[in-house]
Structure 1
Amino acid sequence: MQLLEWIDDQGGVVRSRSVTEAGFTDHSVRKALASRAVIRPRAGWLALPSADPLLVAAARAGVVLTCITQAKRLGLWVLASVVGHHVGAPRHSGGVTADRAHVHWGKPLLARHPHALVDPVENVLGFVASCQPFEAALATWESAVRLGLVDLRTMKRLPLVGPARELVKVTTAFSDSGLETFVLVRLAWLRLAIVPQAWLAGHRVDFLIGERLVLQIDGAHHVGRQRAEDIAHDAELMTLGYFVIRVGYLQVIDRWPEVQHRVMLAVAQGLHLARP
């Protein structure tokens, strides 16, 4: 295997020592550097010019990608309004230059390999727990469980601290999206039976509240054909005696009192109850 191919296979950014340990000569490395086929982000590191800019930046700064930054890279649910990069570094470490990023100095749940540029998902969730508001953190945790990236039983055995100890108690795999996580937490005070992902009239609904009140949460994918199918299913549910409330991302995140008022109004009218 050629040097460039090997570096690409390793993720595009590697420790110089790893290159030597893999059997490549100093001459091949110098040749690649001279031709700009390989760059040196920082002493002790090599990277392809086409490598992920975030990984290159992490190597250059002497940090690892963690918290919401790595959560996004893993495909976990993160609030759309969250901006900026979050990185991790050991306490009292020297040479960290991530001036424009939020640096998490805390102790990670899992030890970091000295060649790592990204945190394992368990560390990511640990820092999300202490960094993000409870509901947003819970949505990220539940998306990790839903995608099969972590096992809750394993997480419970880790040395969790602070908000993470509460999050692991309430995290489930039932919510189909981060928005649904927010809704379930915010409606718990009603003390009504709320069934997420209930199967009604041949399709799943986001929430069945009581016996007859259906709450649907539209994400970004509810457009075109999907939107038409959703509307048709709403109509079918209403002919079967269900009452349907449908809301979107901005209403849940930015205008929650409106959503809560609609649900409270429906419950006050008994629309969550089966009619004789």
Structure 2
Amino acid sequence: MVCTQVLERYGGIATAAQLAAAGATPRALTALVREGHAIRLRRGVYALPGALPSAVEAARAGGRLSCVSAARSFGLWGGTDARLHLRVPAHATRLPASEAVRHWVDDEGSDECWRVSFDECLRSVVRCADEETAVAVLDTALSSGAATLVGLRRVFASEPARSRHVASLARPGSDSGVESLVRQRLEAAGHIVAQQVHVPGVGRVDMLVDGVLFLELDGFAYHGDRRAFERDRARDVGLALSGRRRLRLSAAQVMNEWESALAAIEGVLAAPEVRA
């Protein structure tokens, strides 16, 4: 069905104008809604029944996902701010049902009616979020391949000096936002951090701190993947057999008990090395 394909092309939500451009007639749209294949969110905006809830809320409010909300929709780190961040045009009259952070700015012309473009997402994160969160978002964009260092310089070329500075702090190598936070915090504490280090006979390890401590990080959804669990345990065994210093931290320890986590890292670094 043409209408369904168009909706899928635009991320599950599209305007009547976008649907009409693909050949959908008003009668076809009415039938689509009546038969349950689409939902009319507001005048001139339609969504698939399984569209992203935050996107639906943004479209109902006449805005677009921005900042960390847009970052999550692109599969990037979204930080700990669970509020809905919306780019809302100055003439908007609708407000979202939930608590939301509204950015009252002119529309920047994204093809999707429910979120800002990818480049504008990155710019808005740096403008709105704290520096640590913003760098983590950019780090995950780099590591996922969605952005490059050269591309970031282009995206932020016309931004204020503060935004350009934050963007310059981004580095590839963090497979998750938590890894980026650890990298940033350890470097701020004066440590040297290498990421995604290959160890012969062991495999890839998340981090090497000060050239001596191999650090592994477990994500929030870590135990949901049994094969990943077994691979990580195999790496632990390999590092133990080689006598290398090693430490594994959970995302909860990083997010909620960082001072204790840092003390543990520095304690292991300070301990005499014992090789097998």
Please, what TM-score do these two structures have when normalized by structure 2?
A: 0.82
CA distance in 2, matches of 1:140, 1:179: 10
Q: Is the 8 A contact 1:76 1:143 kept in 2?
A: yes
Change (3 A) 1:44 1:182: same
**CA shift for structure 1 position 50:** 4.8
Q: Which amino acid aligns with 2:177?
A: G
2:222 aligned with 1:221: yes
Change (3 A) 1:261 1:89: same
Change (3 A) 1:194 1:26: closer
2:92 aligned with 1:94: yes
Alignment of 1:232-271 (within 5 A): 232-271=234-273
**CA shift for structure 1 position 252:** 0.9
**CA shift for structure 1 position 224:** 4.2
Alignment of 1:141-160 (within 5 A): 141-157=138-154, 158=156, 159-160=158-159
Q: How many residues align?
A: 269
Specify every segment of 5 or more residues in structure 2 that has no aligned partner in the other structure, as ranges: none
Change (3 A) 1:189 1:38: closer
C-alpha distance after superposition, 1:138-191 (max 9, x if no partner): 111111111122233232133223653222111111223222211111111454
Specify every segment of 5 or more residues in structure 1 that has no aligned partner in the other structure, as ranges: none
CA distance in 2, matches of 1:38, 1:225: 38
CA RMSD, Structure 1 to Structure 2 (Å): 3.0
CA distance in 1, matches of 2:48, 2:209: 53
Provide the residue aligned with 1:44 in structure 2. 44
C-alpha distance after superposition, 1:8-36 (max 9, x if no partner): 55544322233333334344444555666
Provide the residue aligned with 1:209 in structure 2. 209
CA distance in 2, matches of 1:178, 1:31: 43
CA radius of gyration, larger in: 1
C-alpha distance after superposition, 1:44-101 (max 9, x if no partner): 323444544433332321101122222212211223x4322211123x2232422532
Q: Which amino acid aligns with 2:129?
A: Q
CA distance in 2, matches of 1:115, 1:190: 41
Provide the residue aligned with 1:71 in structure 2. 71
Please, what TM-score do these two structures have when normalized by structure 1?
A: 0.82
Provide the residue aligned with 2:173 in structure 1. 174
CA distance in 2, matches of 1:46, 1:30: 10
Q: Is the 8 A contact 1:89 1:96 kept in 2?
A: no
Judge which range, 161-170 or 62-71, deviates more: 161-170
Provide the residue aligned with 2:197 in structure 1. 198
CA distance in 1, matches of 2:33, 2:211: 67
CA distance in 1, matches of 2:53, 2:63: 14
Q: Which amino acid aligns with 2:250?
A: G
Provide the residue aligned with 1:128 in structure 2. 125
Q: Is the 8 A contact 1:201 1:236 kept in 2?
A: no
Q: Which amino acid aligns with 1:22?
A: A
